[in-house]
Structure formats: C-alpha cells, structure tokens
Amino acid sequence: MRVFVLAAFWAVVAATAIKDDLADVVLKRDNLVNLDVKTKELFVMKLLNHILQPTMYEDIRDIAREYVIEDNADKYLKVEVVKNFVDIYKMGMLPRGEVFVHTNEKQLEEAVATFHLLYFAKDFDVFLRTACWLRERINGGMFVYALTVATFHRPDCHGIVLPAPYEIYPYFFVDSNVINKAFQMKMTKASLDPVVRDYFGIKVKDNNVVVIDWRKGVRHTLSEFDRISYFTEDIDLNTYFYYLHMNYPYWMTDDVYNVNKERRGEIFMYTHMQLLARLRLELLSKNMCDIKPLVWNEPLATGYWPKIRMHNGEEMPMRRNNVAVVTENNVKDKILIDDIESVIREAILKGRVHLRDGTVVTINKEQDIEVLARMLLGGYGLKPDSAKVIHIGNLLKKMLSYGQYNVDKYTSIPTALDMYTTCLRDPVFWRLIKRVSETFVLFKNLLPAYTVEELNFPGVKVDQVTTDKLVTFMDDYDVDITNAVYLDQAEVQKKRSDLVYVARMRRLNHHPFKVTINVVSDKATDAIVRVFIGPKYDCMGRLIQLNDRRRDMVEIDSFLYKLDTGKNTIVRSSIEMNGVIQQRPWTRRAWNRAGAAAMENVDTVDSMDVKMVDSWWWKTRMGFPHRLLLPMGTRGGLEMQMFVIVSPVRSGRIAQNLDINIMKERHACRWTTCVDTMPLGYPFDRHIEPTRFYTNNMKFSDILIFRKDMNTSNVVKDVDMSDMVMKRDDLTYLDTDMMVRRSYRNVMLTSVDNMTHM
C-alpha cells in the first residue's frame, strides 16, 4: 500500500502541465453561469494559485481590468453590500503583502464586507468576475479567507473541492526552517553545496522535485507538551479546525446564510469537546495527565515556540514558560470576560437571561443548547448582520495576545492563537477551550439524567463487539510547499515553477480496521449505531469511574442501520466511518485532471467525479482525518475501551422544527445530525446514574492499541538508511525518528571521550 501511494505521488508530480491558453479561452466566454463543477473548480484553483503574487493568468487579469464593481451594482442581490465595500475600499484596506489576521476586528470587518460582495453575486458569472477583480486588488490572505467562505456557502459552488490550505499558504503549517531551505534551493537553482544538502536531508529528483526532510535538525522543545506535537501540529487536524470555522463563521448571525438551521452552535461546541477528548487520549498514550482549565491567578507554566515565519519575514512570537496571565495590558479584557462569564453562568442557574432589548431567552431545556453554544462561541449577534458578536473564545485569545499595542493597526503580528490554522498548535488554546467547555458542562449537568426509557431499545440486544488488531505507526507524508516560493519572471511566463518543492514530514497513522457488532433484534426496525472509544485507566494507572470518563469518550462513528429480525452482524470499516476523510489529494493532481477535462471540452462529469461531488466534496470541508481516529499505541498495547449503543431513531428532541432533509441537502451531516435529533454526545453528554444506565442495547469492550516502530517496518524505500543509526534525545517526541550519519555519531562519541579524559 505504501509503495503504491508513493508511486502514484511521483507519477503526479512528473505529469506535464496543462495548457493554460485553452483554459483562458473557456474563461473569456460571455456567460460563465452554466459551467460543470470541474470547470468551476479549475477557475477557483487558478485564483488561489501563488496567492502571494499577482496572478500569472491573462484571462483573470483581463477580467480584473474590464470589470467595474460600481457599474455593476445591479448584479448583486443586495445593492448595499456593493456600496459598503466600495466605501471601505476607498478608505483603504489591509495592504497587499501584510498578514491577514483572523481575529483582528478591523481586518475581519473588511473580510466580511469582501465576503458579502462574493456571496450576494446573483450568479456564478458575477461571482467569478468579482473574484477576479478582488484577486488583483486586495490583500492575498483576506482574499483567500473571503473566497473560501463564499465557496463554502454559495449553492452554485457545491461540488468544488478547494486546494488544501497548507498548499495555498504553507507558512502557517510548515516550520520556517523547511521553507528557508526551499528558498535556498530556489536561489541556487538546486545546486546547493552537496554536503550541506545531504546534512539537511534535501534530495533533488530527476523530475525536478526537491524533497526536504522535515525531521532533520534539532527539535526545539519548551515543555513536556511538545511530546505530542505530532498531534497538535498535524496539518490535517489544523485544516479540520480551520474548515470548521469556514463552515460556521461566528460572525454569521443573519438567517440569510441558513447556517442557523443546522444546529450550528451545538455542532461547534461538540466539536471542541470532542477535540479535547481526543487530546486526552493522546496524552494518556504518553502517560501524561489531563490539562486543566485556564485560570487567572496562576502563570502559564507551558510555553510555546511556534517555529513559524510568515511571508513578510515576521516571526510568530514565542511564549516562554511561566508567563503571567493577567498583566496591566490585558486587565480590562479580563474584567470583561469575568462579567460575560458570570452573566451566562447565572443565566444557566436561573434558567433565563435578559437581553439589552428586553427580550428574555430561556436556558433551562435541552432545546436551549443551541442558544447557549452560540452565546459562548459566536453566532449570537449583538446586532443583525454584524461581525460584532459575543465570543468568549476570541476574548480569551485577545487577552493572551502579545500584540496589545498593534491590535488596531495593519502591522499587527499574529500569535499562534490568533489564527484558526495555528491555534491548535499552542498548548494554552486547549486550556482556553477547557475553560469555555466548563460553562457548557454546567448546563448539561443541570439537565436530568437520561431515564431507562431514553437509554433502552426494547427488543434489541448488543451481544458482542470485536475489532481487528489496532496498530498505529508514524509514517511519511510529502507536502507540496511550492506556493511558499516566489516565481521569477521566466516562471510567470511559463505559468509554473521550474521546481516542485516538497516537505517530507512525519505523521501519526494507523492500519485500517473493522469493528464487528453482533446485535439481536426481535423485530425489523431502523436503528442508530454510535461507536465511542475512551480511556479505561488514568495517567496514574487507576481505573476511571464512568462519570469521570464520559467527557473523554471520542465518538468515532455513528450511522443509520436497518435491523432485521434475529441476529444481525454489523461490520463497519474505519475507512467508511461517518465524518472521516482520507488523505486530501494534491492540488497538482486535481489541476492536471481538471485541465485534461477542459482540453477535451468535457461538459459532463464522469462516474468518479460524481462520487467526488456527492461524497468527497463535503468530506473535504467537514471530515476528521481518518488516520487520527486512534491515539498512538504502545508496544505492549494501550488499554482503552470501546462502547457501542444501538438506539431507536428519534425526532423532535433538539431543534424540534428542524427539517433533517434540509441538513442532508446542505451536506451538514456531522455525527447524527442528519438521522435523528438526539443531543450530540448522547448518552455521555449528561450526568450518569450507574444504577439506571446499563441496558441490553449497549456494550463496553476492552481494546488494545499497539504501536509499530518505523525502525523495523514501513520504511520509505527511497531513503537510504544503511549508514544511519538512531539518536536518542532528551525531549524528542519520538526518539526513533532522529537519524544521524554513523560518521557524525562516531565524531561526537570521540569528542565526548576526549572531554571525559581532560
């Protein structure tokens, strides 16, 4: 399997470039409305290619010159959005070349105004021409943000698979030393000193592909938390969180966007809590104890070194260990957060909250979970159609930011917390979300525990739950970082880079596995099957009580199943589990595929592309990385538990007036939101009464998760390891990943021996 993937990869990068002049002919047509989805996708990919430079495509430049926003105000569903954008644009927006910061209020207002321009375009023709106009005039990062949100929410963009954010702008995902090596290879035209190239693990392939080994060099560590940096800094996990914001931007308060019909607040909150639970499993795999909520009166013991340098040369600030939380610069933010938290918690205890306009909102029933979640994490506006919303998470981020003096300037330098693409990397973010989730847990704890009738499924019994052997390992993955390197004039003329720059990284993975569930039913009926994994012992080796671990249960699968009378054997592959996504394809491959279709004038989508539209498209926007379903195991087997519950299909619980079919049409199918209306996290979302919990339709099963080391298997064949040995470092998160030449090791040992005899 590994060899096949690598062979496919090298075949892709060796493929010839598409003929852009043919794509130009398509783009110059008078009407760009009735295009097939793959042609639309090609145009969007061109808009996002090498975003740090003016576009290299003549067709986009021609449209950008010819199209005038003000003269076409009647082509937008809301004329006022054109006037508002033009006013902001004439006043001066974020300059090109600066870094767009997701949580900067001034920059966000400009980005929202840009999004409105794209979102309210009457048809795809106007949308595309507006995008071309913006591509040549506004800040690149702001353009990517607005175009991504618009593509996610416009009905005529359904089916468009966007390039992965780490390919559009690699700087937020790849360590600065790797990108610096790419620049070295660019400046020397791949003729860097062979000794230096070998030392840094840089290989130049015959097909002009430069592979830079991410693992080479000294690993910078500040705390024990860096032992799980392979998880928190995983590019697919950070993409998942970034796309969560793209699907449910907290500033979308107006019902015109339809996101309020998707249980958005509950989905957003549950996603954060599931990420916390998944982090907990990874900590346990390293015998590390759980993180604590953020508090004011203790310093932040855990620092963070992002190792990120942005395209303008600014380093993302490092936070040292034991930094004070409250300072003279953020005490006002602390007071504001305390006031808002106290109001919300008091509202939970009293069951209602009085808004400024006199409206009374109840927060005492399970249906009120949506309002509470949106109050905590955005989506509940202070006024309609405004980016100014209550967002405890953003307030906490602002309080912990280092750029207190530049928050209203265009020259603000973001911290890892300020960007949705990087915040998961910072240990303090997890403590921040833990604090926010405690308010949510308070609401859940005040709800009555589930009754036996709510838990039971009469006539249905889960007999047995088994799995294949669960094996995790660290494997190699190649990230295309070519967009981080600027094109010279000759390359612009050719519309492609002479070299393809690739960062070879190490990531957590596991072998595909199957879960087999034996169920006996006395009737034929529809059922909802939920599968969780969670801890059995804590970091001290003590057995965890059910109520203490219910918040650490990770829902890895949930699906609708038609039970037959008698014995049912349900076999569920990890690859087909609900809401998971396999590896995103390289944009370079999709580019070649779309270009080939354009050259053949294909107007219909073939069978593979139909599948991509129906399934792959929405999974790229909502899917959790399949390879992160399991925490890293141990050689002897990490002891965990799997829990399965088979429940009847229920409606009318959460969001009573919600039409499930609407969510299916919008592909908003997270967990069980498209099959029933039970609260997300059921049955672990409320306090458990052990004497009334266990029923025949549920089953706990002990599982072991093993770890397979790279030094004995899964070795990439094109890496010569014959003269390499493993080096053990004190705080290296995976000792067997650090490789040095035997000659270097002998020199070091000789030096050490000489020092001991001095």
Alpha helices for 252-330 (secondary structure H): 264-285
User: In Å, how far are 223, 628, 665, 708, 711 from 473, measured between CA atoms?
Assistant: 23, 11, 37, 5, 11
Residues 553-564: pLDDT tens digits? 999 999 999 999
- Both tokens of residue 512? 């595909």
What pLDDT, on a 0 to 100 scale, did the predictor assign at position 411?
75
Residues 476-486: pLDDT tens digits? 889 999 999 99
Residues 290-340: pLDDT tens digits? 999 999 989 999 999 999 999 999 899 988 899 999 988 888 889 988 988
Average model confidence (pLDDT) for the chain?
Answer: 82
Placement of tokens 């998944």 in the chain = 278
**Are residues 236 and 625 in contact, defined by beta-carbon separation less than 8 angstroms?**
yes
| β 500-510/470-480 pair status | antiparallel
CA 752, distance to chain mean position in Å, is: 45
| Cα(711)–Cα(724) distance, integer angstroms | 11
| Cα(554)–Cα(354) distance, integer angstroms | 35
Q: What is the largest CA-CA distance in the chain?
A: 85
pLDDT exceeds cutoff 50 at 598: no
pLDDT exceeds cutoff 80 at 661: no
Contacts of 48 (CB under 8 A, 6+ apart): 144, 147, 162, 163, 168
Provide the residue ranges of all domains of the chain, joining segments of one domain with +. 11-160, 171-213, 224-446, 452-481+489-708, 724-756
CATH class of 452-481+489-708: mainly beta
- Both tokens of residue 642? 């799997």
pLDDT exceeds cutoff 60 at 235: yes
- Both tokens of residue 310? 């942005």
- Both tokens of residue 155? 């009905």
pLDDT exceeds cutoff 60 at 75: yes
CA dihedral 374, 377, 383, 387 (to 10 degrees): -140
Average pLDDT over residues 381-397: 67
- Both tokens of residue 200? 């840094």
Alpha helices for 579-673 (secondary structure H): 587-599, 607-611, 617-622, 660-665
pLDDT exceeds cutoff 60 at 14: no
The verdict on domain 11-160 having CATH code 4.10.490.10 is: no
Distance linking the first and last C-alpha atoms of the chain? 53
| Cα(753)–Cα(435) distance, integer angstroms | 51
CA 8, distance to chain mean position in Å, is: 25
**What 8-state DSSP symbol labels residue 627?**
G
| Cα(725)–Cα(711) distance, integer angstroms | 9
Residues 677-694: pLDDT tens digits? 889 999 999 999 998 999
Residue (of 427, 422, 188, 467) closest to 319 by Cα position = 427
Placement of tokens 């995902």 in the chain = 173
**Are residues 504 and 554 in contact, defined by beta-carbon separation less than 8 angstroms?**
no
CATH class of 224-446: mainly alpha
345: buried, middle or exposed (CB in 10 Å: 19+, 13-18, 0-12)? middle
Rg (the chain; Cα; Å): 27
What amino acid is encoded at 734 in this protein? L
Residues 566-590: pLDDT tens digits? 999 999 999 989 889 988 888 887 6
pLDDT exceeds cutoff 90 at 623: no
**Are residues 603 and 567 in contact, defined by beta-carbon separation less than 8 angstroms?**
no
What pLDDT, on a 0 to 100 scale, did the predictor assign at position 592?
65
> Is the model more confident about 661 or about 173?
173
| Cα(442)–Cα(237) distance, integer angstroms | 28
| β 525-535/638-648 pair status | antiparallel
**What 8-state DSSP symbol labels residue 558?**
E
The 3-state secondary structure of 654-699, one letter per residue = CCCCCCHHHHHHCCCCCCCCCCCCCCCCCCCCCCCCHHHCCCCCEE
Placement of tokens 């105004």 in the chain = 113
567: buried, middle or exposed (CB in 10 Å: 19+, 13-18, 0-12)? exposed
Of the listed ranges 24-33, 199-208, 500-509, 710-719, the least confidently predicted one is: 710-719
What residues are paired with 353 via a beta bridge? Answer: 361
Residues 441-455: pLDDT tens digits? 999 999 999 999 999
Of the listed ranges 394-403, 524-533, 655-664, 738-747, the least confidently predicted one is: 738-747
What amino acid is encoded at 42 in this protein? L
User: In Å, how far are 35, 332, 455, 527, 690 from 648, measured between CA atoms?
Assistant: 43, 50, 9, 5, 21
Alpha helices for 456-570 (secondary structure H): 489-494, 546-549
| β 209-213/500-510 pair status | parallel
**Are residues 504 and 710 in contact, defined by beta-carbon separation less than 8 angstroms?**
no
CA dihedral 107, 113, 118, 120 (to 10 degrees): 160
**Are residues 729 and 735 in contact, defined by beta-carbon separation less than 8 angstroms?**
yes
User: In Å, how far are 278, 430, 516, 535 from 631, measured between CA atoms?
Assistant: 8, 17, 20, 11
pLDDT exceeds cutoff 50 at 613: no
| Cα(456)–Cα(624) distance, integer angstroms | 29
3-class SS at 566? strand
